[in-house]
Amino acid sequence: MKNSQTSVSAYSIDDDETETELEVIGRFMTRLKVKNLPRNYQLFYEALYGQDCSLAEEIEALGPLPPQSGLDEIGLKHRLVSHCGLVARKSESDAAEMLREVADQLAKGLLKKQRFACEIEATPHANAALDSLNASLSNLMLYETELTERLRDCANLSKSSQKAGA
């Protein structure tokens, strides 16, 4: 991963004024109406003062009012340190969504199995094999119910931690 230099240099604009790198970056970001987030400062620092000239070209390709998502995509592509947290947040969000989907699918399957169990019980010609199947099915439904509740709890915890982090 790349990382920024910690020193701030100054260079002369004219005889009386000096402008720091931070001021140049800030002015450039203001002109493009980019949010002054720390990750954006690092991105523009690397674009203006870094070794990779393709970074500046990619930002320029976004146009005069670059969207934050486009800037973040560039930062992630170039593995800038300040953009690493975005990967973790997206992974957590994707995992929580997947858990919610799995919990919903399990709940639907459980309903189907419960309906089937009710139909089996209502059949007048049920024999010992059907009773055994029904008992096994009941146990399976209990296990699936417990798993569904645990998945929902995990998904809700992830969702509430995202809200707390925002």
- Per residue in 65-120, pLDDT (tens digit) is 888 888 888 888 877 777 776 666 667 777 778 888 888 888 888 888 888 878 77
Residue 70 domain flag: yes
- CB contact at 8 A, 39 and 47: no
- Indicate whether 95 and 115 sit together in one domain: yes
Number of Cβ within a 10 Å radius of residue 55: 21
Residues 33-54, mean pLDDT to the nearest whole number: 84
Q: Where is the domain boundary, 32, 58, 79? A: 79
Rounded to whole angstroms, the Cα distance separating 98 from 35 reads 31
Q: How many domains does the chain fold into?
A: 2
- Does residue 4 form part of some domain? no
Across residues 137-152, what is the average pLDDT? 84
Same domain assignment for residues 118 and 136:
yes
Considering the domain boundaries, does residue 84 fall inside one?
Answer: no
Q: Answer with the one of 24, 55, 79 that is the final residue of a domain.
A: 79
| Domain extent for 25 | 10-79
Would the pLDDT of 157 be above 70?
no
